[in-house]
Amino acid sequence: MCLIVVALDCHPTYKLIVAANRDEYFNRPTAPAGLWDDAPQVLAGRDLQAGGTWLGVTTTGRLAAVTNYRDPTFQPPNPRSRGQLVADFLTGMTTPAEYLETLRRDGAGYGGFNLLFGDRGRLFYFSNRGGVSGPVPPGIHGLSNHLLDTPWPKVQAAKDRLECLLDRNPPDTEALFEALGDPHPFPDHLLPDTGVGIERERLLSPLFIEGTDYGTRSSTLVLIDRKNTLTFLERSYDSQHGVNGNAAFSIVSGGIVSIGGDVP
C-alpha cells in the first residue's frame, strides 16, 4: 500500500471507511483478494513472493494495512517482509494493544513501515520511523510513505475527497474508486524530497500511479457499519492501467454472506 485514507466515526451509518491504493512493481506475483486456504478467516490479496499482504480483514472483524516509509538511506540488514506484519495480525489472536507492544519490541527488524490495524472499527497506528503511535482518534486520516497525516499533496487531496463524499448515505463507492483513480501529478514545488530524485517524486506523486514497470496494482474499499457488517470491494489493474479484476465481499455475524465478481 502506498496510499490509505480513513474516516473513523465520521459517518452516520459507517463507523469506519477505508480507501486505499496498492502501488507495486507489475512483475511481482500477486493473488487477488480472497479467503486464504491456510487461514480461511482471512480475506485479503496475497504477495506470492513473500507470502504476506498489504491490506486485509477477517471474518471476526480484524483489519490491517501497511505502507512503506520511503527513505532510501535506511535499510536494516536482512529485513523481514513488511507484508508479514499484516498477515501476523490477521491470523493472530492478540488484541490491538498487545500487538502494538509487539511492534514496539520487534519493529526495528523491518524496513521503514507504517501499520494501521484494529478490530470492529477500532484503529491503531504504529511506525518504526517514529511519530505518535497508539489508538487513532476519530476523524479523517491519511497515510502514504511518511508518517500518519503528513500533508503530502496526494494525502491531503485524498482526505479532502473522502470528506466531500461522506455527506452521502450510503457512500458512493464508485465515486470513491474514481477518487483513488486520479492519475494527475502535483506541481514540483509541492512534492516532498524523500531522497529518490525529482523524476521519481513526480512519478509517485499522483493518487493513482501510471508507471511502465511500477504503478497502482489495486484499489480497495473497506466499510464497517455500526452493526459490524463489513463490506470489502477491490478493483485490480494491469500494467496498461486497465481494470483486470473486480471483487465484492460482505461479512456479517462472523461469516461471508456474499461473494461477487463485480463491484457494485
Q: What is the CATH number of the domain that holds 157?
A: 3.60.60.10
Q: For residues 107 and 85, give the distance between their C-alpha atoms in angstroms, rounded to a whole number.
A: 9
Structural domains counted in the chain: 1
Cell output for 199: 523524476
Domain that residue 162 falls in: 3-260
Residue 252: pLDDT band with limits 50, 70, 90: confident
Residues 134-158 have a mean pLDDT of 98
Is a pLDDT exceeding 90 seen at residue 254?
A: no
The amino acid occupying position 133 is: S
pTM score of the predicted model: 0.95
Nearest to 87 by CA among 54, 123, 48: 54
Is a pLDDT exceeding 80 seen at residue 260?
A: no
Residues 149-174 have a mean pLDDT of 95
Residues 22-26 have a mean pLDDT of 97
Is a pLDDT exceeding 80 seen at residue 255?
A: no
